[in-house]
Amino acid sequence: MKRALLLTLALIGCDDADDPARSMADAGPTLDATTPDAALPDRGLPDTEPDAAPDAATDVAPPPDAEPDAAPVPDAALPDQGPPPCDPVPETCNGLDDDCDEAVDEGYDVDAPCGQGVGACREVARVTCAEDGTAICPAVAGAPAGELCNGLDDDCDGRTDEDYDADGDGAPRCEADVCAACPVEDAEVCRALCDGQDCRDENLGVFPAAEDRCGDGIDQNCDGEDAPCTVATGRVSTLAVAPGDDAACPDVNGDGAPDNAMSLLGALANEALAEAVAQGQVNLFLAAEGLAAPGTDGNFRLAVLLATPEGEGYAVDPAGLTDEGAPRILFPGARVRDAALRAGPGRVTLDLPIADLALTLVLYQARVQGTLGVDDMLGLSLAEGVLWGAVTDADLQAALDGLEATCAAADPAPEFCGPLAMFRPLLGNLLVLDQDLDQDGERDAYSICLRVGATPAVLMGWPPE
């Protein structure tokens, strides 16, 4: 009986194979291993032996000794073999992690800006590795030329336009009108060349950076008039470390990018700095001596003064003055032209609040620029201002030593002391020296650029009686 049933099924299958359309029509629902018995079509065949044999498609169990197919093992389940073993050797400049500390060429400042030569001979490049494993600056200094009156050090001796300075006061007098027709293309050089022209090159006491004594009828600072006996003041209302790519920051080292090596301090100090300025804990004043309203043109002395809150206003803080009563921070040769301020170079001492501590930085070759104005009440305003300077590595290390000493003496220690202990060992990888203050071909300082703004405010006690 079973053999007859199998023969009948085989014949039905052969007939269907000869007619594809019939085969598809008769096929009924598509079956797979999950189709229940109730869904199977009824072929009208007698159920002669209900459970005599298991369904070949769904019920056939594997032989007892057969092993199921192995499922693919996901990557996450594989054991972590870890990095290949590393045999540490002293680090050299070769693009490899020789000492197995997961840092490459640390201590060699690879890709940092560098330069050779001074003045017009200076050429800039980026530090690279040499074949012997040392770091080199591939820049090659140019050849000196004859000195011209153009705001450049053409003969590469560290002095500018010295052949055109008859009285030796540092201010040249060019034969041509360089303000009307600048001999170079660099706008900043042209501005400095024009602003620095000596109006009386036979008089050692008259030059653009000289102090113009108000009311004496003499134009000592070459701005075309005797200085008015006025002092305009404004309180610094905005102070923040600029981002590293802020285009307003100057390119002093000539590498084509804004100089702000210490921009990472912004993440540590800007929030606390803004709060300290807003709450009157940090009070800096700008004071323009010899600049009257509207303050859009003239030479003057720009001082940065410390202040303390007094009543509803502010009074000058003696800590910001010398023993003789002069401002400790002074830009004697400040010049504003068409409201555009340029002041410096000078030296600025700045305290940056970091958590409960203060990081004291000394900025060399400091300069200030921005849009300046003076109102009729002698209130000074500065918009879109920038304060730039260079901090020597020695001064930075001394400042960090001071912070660590404060942490060690405090009980309990300020909150920032823990992060400071972790941050300082990484300093060599986070900060890159980018300035050569002494022009000896070796970088010795970090640039820092801050955004600064000022609003009109009265400073009691200044100027002194």
In our burial notation (b when 16+ CB lie closer than 10 A, e otherwise), range 137-152 reads: bebeeeebeebbbbbb
The reply to whether 157 falls in a domain is no
Residue 296 belongs to some domain of the structure: yes
Lookup: tokens for 291: 């600049």
Does residue 63 have a cis peptide bond before it, meaning omega lies within 30 degrees of 0?
A: no
Domain-embedded: residue 65: no
Q: Is residue 63 in some structural domain?
A: no
Nearest CA to 388 out of 268, 277, 242 is that of 242
Domain contains 55: no
Q: Is the peptide bond before 463 cis (omega within 30 degrees of 0)?
A: yes
Does residue 178 sit within a domain?
A: no
One pLDDT digit (tens) per residue for the chain, 465 residues: 433 333 333 333 444 444 444 444 344 443 343 444 444 444 444 444 444 444 444 445 555 555 555 555 555 556 666 666 788 999 999 999 999 998 999 888 898 888 888 899 989 899 999 999 999 999 999 999 999 999 999 999 999 999 999 999 999 999 999 999 999 999 989 999 999 999 999 999 999 999 899 999 999 999 999 999 999 999 999 999 999 999 999 999 888 899 999 998 898 889 988 998 999 889 999 999 999 999 999 999 999 999 999 998 999 999 999 999 999 999 988 999 999 999 999 999 988 877 667 788 999 999 999 999 999 999 999 999 999 999 999 999 999 898 888 888 888 887 778 877 887 887 777 888 999 898 777 889 999 999 999 999 999 999 987
What DSSP assignment string belongs to 372-437? Answer: EEE-TT-BEEEEEEEEEEEEEHHHHHHHHHHHHHHHHH-SSPPTTHHHHHHHGGGHHHH----B-T
* Interacting residues of 455 by C-beta distance below 8 A, sequence separation 6+: 234, 235, 237, 379, 381
Angle formed by the axes of helices 2-18 and 20-27, nearest 10°: 120
Tally of domains within the chain:
1
In the numeric block, the tokens 């100089």 are attached to: 259
In a domain, 246, yes or no: yes
Domain that holds residue 356: 228-460
DSSP three-state, residue 115: strand
> What's the predicted TM-score (pTM) here?
0.72
User: Phi, psi at residue 162, to the nearest 5°?
Assistant: -65, -25
Residue 446 belongs to some domain of the structure = yes
